[in-house]
Structure 1
């Protein structure tokens, strides 16, 4: 068997084929009686660089954090999966989502967003009188 040398690109290609890595943080979304919860893995992100906003019934989560290239100039990476720090994810909110009262917390690299449900409005019965 011939001894093979891999350059950095082919080495990365082999591992990227075996282990596909998303450039977006993974999320879990679940519902309970009070609302909807989104949790996202954001380990390594500064809390003040995470942006969350709702607009036209769409929730946006984003960060524009960039890695400092000068800090890593002496490194020769064999695999570099954590370099992408900027991202944006968007989620269409359900009709009963209360956009005005969304709250979020960030602890130990996990972002938790709570989207409360609007109170259910019972249909108003209108009595029609015929003369």
Structure 2
């Protein structure tokens, strides 16, 4: 029986390890912690007999940049963000950072939503959705002739 050793590039010296890890890590040099929160939109979904409630963390956005779509059981939350940050020293611009991005999150609920009665509110960086459940339709039994 042969004894194989598995190559682990992260076990090399720290310089090489940082090089390998940096190669596979997404670039986020201009992203702020708030931008990272947006990219990983956190949501809570709760349910009672009549409705679903969704809370999504979307800090620092303007409500006009948030879009919610409901298609039966599928809920999609889309947002776009544009940030401009400029640091000046006197009249010279020392650093200018721009971040523009769009992100979305879609999920499926157990039952269909009555989109005509659904409501949305955005306050203090949290989007709150109230999604009433669609009343079940009566099943019709067909007579076979």
TM-score (norm 2): 0.56
SS in 1 for 2:82: coil
Based on CA coordinates, which of the two structures has the bigger radius of gyration? Answer: 2
Indicate how the Cα distance of structure 1 residues 49 and 26 shifts in structure 2: closer, same or farther if over 3 A, else same: same
Q: Which residue of 1 aligns with 2:135?
A: 119
Q: Which residue of 2 aligns with 1:100?
A: 116
Q: Which residue of 2 aligns with 1:52?
A: 68
**Cα drift, residue 34 of structure 1:** 2.0
For the pair 1:88 / 2:98, whether they are aligned, the reply is: no
TM-score (norm 1): 0.61
> Structure 1, residues 10-63: CA drift from partner, whole Å, max 9, x if none?
6xx7xx9xxxx6622111111012200110111100111101112353211111
Alpha-carbon distance in 2 for matches of 1:74, 1:55: 47
Number of residue-to-residue matches in the alignment = 106
**Cα drift, residue 110 of structure 1:** 0.7
Q: Which residue of 1 aligns with 2:14?
A: none
More RCO (CA 8 Å, sep 6+)? 1
CA contact (8 A) 1:57 1:99 kept: no
Give unmatched runs, 5+ long, in structure 2.
1-17, 29-35, 88-92
Over the residues paired in the alignment, what is the CA RMSD in angstroms?
3.5
SS in 2 for 1:67: strand
28, 41, 50: which one aligns with 1:34: 50
Q: Which residue of 2 aligns with 1:68?
A: 84
- Structure 1 runs (4+) deviating above 6 angstroms are none
More strand by share: 2
Alpha-carbon distance in 2 for matches of 1:109, 1:24: 14
